[in-house]
Amino acid sequence: MTYSVAVSGASGYAGGEILRLLARHPDVEIRTVTAHSSAGDALVDHQPHLRSLRHLTLQPTTPEVLAGHDIVFLALPHGQSGQYTDALGGASLIIDAGADHRLTSEDDWNAFYGGLFHEPWTYGVPELLVDGSKQRERLASATRIAAPGCNASTVSLSMAPGVAAGVVDATDIVTVLAVGPSGAGKAVKPHLLGAELMGSATPYAVGGTHRHIPEIQQALRAAGASDPRVSFTPVLVPMARGILATTSAPMAEGVTDAEVRDAWETAYANEPFVQLLPEGRFPRTVDVTGANTALMGLAIDRSANRVVVVTAVDNLAKGTAGAAIQSMNIALGLDEATALPVDGVAP
């Protein structure tokens, strides 16, 4: 069976990455791409790297245009996708790459986003530990999927094994992330201009204000933490794509080094896209560019009695579009890895 697909927000970074990965998927046909101000333009005018899709024209983003497809991807700014979901009841599968359906707590939504709260959908990170099993079990029957925030899934994947195994103290998680500006979207913003970014590292959303914090806490509660507390500091660095997250938490009392490492090895032993590196090895963002792969290295800082996990992902691939398509594959009963590269692009 070939599934018909519509992708909204196709002129943006997330929409373009969804299209790049879907273009090599043998079980889907990309029939419709939409945008707002760019409607009427050729897709390749905005995504010139997508040569196999040069026949497509951007249509207006309306419920009428998106309706009638088997699968709809919503790659819209936060707060915009919710207006379409009720009108697309006929679609067998809808995947939202925005934040509108990620959070289960209305209080968290109001505190970090604001605006109309929408019902939470099945969270699209298959490898996450949830109540002793993997999230992919819930995705297998899903018809509405919320793709993750890129920073949120990176930190959650970094700490969930330790939380689930009880080898770390989740009340004191500290994470600092080097992130590329593509995670902020394609809209022109002065602080994202090359002249502002090149040769500089710039912290933002400091002091507990980043919108991905409640999403991380939600994932860690699902993994078994009763009161997860996260100090989260992202730093913009001059690379187009990528996240390098350094996350640490205190070791639980009486836990051995071997028990700590075993928690992560057991959690990700059979995962094709989340890989723990050998002891003493740590990833670089370039190792995962273009890939649906999260690479992580683990260390134990005995002087501070903390577990340190360094994780690299491509924020547009595994962080967003790759996670969305991986979840789509699971929901449709397809091979989970279909159309998703494990290998990065280097140099």
Active site residue 300: no
Catalytic annotation, pick one of 18, 150, 160, 197 = 150
In whole angstroms, what separates CA 297 from the centre of its chain? 19
Is omega for the bond preceding 26 within 30 degrees of 0, making it cis? Answer: no
Q: Are 18 and 321 in contact (CB under 8 A)?
A: yes
In whole angstroms, what separates CA 137 from the centre of its chain? 18
Secondary element (H or E) of residue 136: helix 136-139
Rounded Cα gap, residues 347 and 303, in angstroms: 36
Residue 3 amino acid letter: Y
Our CA angle for 251, 207, 155, nearest 5°, is 45
Q: Are 65 and 84 in contact (CB under 8 A)?
A: no
The residue with tokens 């992130």 is: 179
Rounded Cα gap, residues 290 and 182, in angstroms: 13
Here the tokens at position 133 are 């099993």
Here the tokens at position 10 are 């196709």
- Give the long-range contacts of residues 252-259, CB within 8 A, separation 24 or more: 252/166, 252/167, 252/168, 252/169, 255/167, 257/300, 259/165, 259/167
Q: What is the DSSP string of 72-131?
A: EEE---TTTTHHHHGGGTT-SEEEE-SSTTT-S-HHHHHHHT-S------EE--TT-EET
User: Which residues are known to be catalytic?
Assistant: 150
